[in-house]
Amino acid sequence: MGNGLFFTIGNNYNFSLLPPGTYKITGIHRALGTRTYKDIVITADQPTTLDINFIDNTKPVITAFLISDANTANKEYTTNRKVQVEMEGYDDSGTVWRYLITETPETPTVEQMLLGDENPYTSYDIHSPDDGQKALYAWVMDGSNNISIGSSVTILLDTATTLTIDTITSPTYINYQTMGGQKEEGALIDVNCSTAAIGAVNYPSETTWSVVLSDLNLGNNEITVISTDQYNNQNKGLPDTCNSQRKCFRLLPA
């Protein structure tokens, strides 16, 4: 008897039967049959019962992870960044300590897990920019900071597109003008005006656009701006002056 002795503790094992020494003992989870190990030291005056706390080395698991459109319940396609979530985790200790959803496959750190929720998510806002196939990853952590393997699902995000047009100067005496505004990332801008020359549309950033119009006609120059995202959702510029439903430069005689 002594170092390295291996035995299994039955119910009500009487430790006083053991001679002094160091023992490696095995605990078997009643439900899972998983084993954990712990070294104990038995001394000459050992009491007959011991309070043994096994170290939890067993990762929790994601037992369910589903996302869907909150209105249609469609699991493959959504028009809303806020999706509905069904999520369940399990740990051998009986308690899942934290739940977390991420948008990258890397295992979160313990600190990141602690920023998660004590309860399973019921909804989630997709943060990553742009539309397209979105992968979400679910994670759970137990009370001993063991983090599960991630579970992932994907859904196609197809949001309505947005467009803004900055305030323009009108009426004006200058027959060339720059206009621009905000747009959805990934969307393309189309500018039309039958009474002026239209330059190429520029994209100073992923979410802004600008264009130069020249040779404006005297009088009203109605301009139509249409934003089209990668899934062909369209948004047209808001109504403006000149009795037009679109932006309008009124060019005055010099």
Using CA atoms, how far apart are residues 92 and 162, in angstroms rounded to an integer? 48
Interacting span for Ca ion (CB under 5 A) from 42-50, 54-62, 71-79, 95-103? 54-62
Cross-strand partners of 63: none
Name the residue among 63, 66, 64, 62 with its Cα closest to residue 153: 66
Query: Which CB, 69 or 229, lies closer to Ca ion?
Result: 229
From the CB of 230, what's the least distance to Ca ion, in Å? 7
User: Judged by CB under 5 A, does residue 56 bind Ca ion?
Assistant: yes
Using CA atoms, how far apart are residues 36 and 52, in angstroms rounded to an integer? 12
User: Judged by CB under 5 A, does residue 91 bind Ca ion?
Assistant: yes
Query: Which CB, 84 or 161, lies closer to Ca ion?
Result: 161
Query: Which CB, 16 or 71, lies closer to Ca ion?
Result: 71
Q: Which two tokens stand for residue 91?
A: 């740990």
User: Judged by CB under 5 A, does residue 148 bind Ca ion?
Assistant: no
Q: Which of 99, 229, 247, 251 binds Ca ion (CB under 5 A)?
A: 229
Query: Which CB, 103 or 215, lies closer to Ca ion?
Result: 103
User: Judged by CB under 5 A, does residue 222 bind Ca ion?
Assistant: no
DSSP-based helix, strand, coil % in the chain, nearest 5: 5, 45, 50
User: Judged by CB under 5 A, does residue 69 bind Ca ion?
Assistant: no
Using CA atoms, how far apart are residues 247 and 227, in angstroms rounded to an integer? 14
Using CA atoms, how far apart are residues 184 and 161, in angstroms rounded to an integer? 6
**AA letter at 61:** V
User: Judged by CB under 5 A, does residue 240 bind Ca ion?
Assistant: no
The site for Ca ion (CB under 5 A) is made up of 56, 58, 91-93, 131, 142, 159, 161, 229
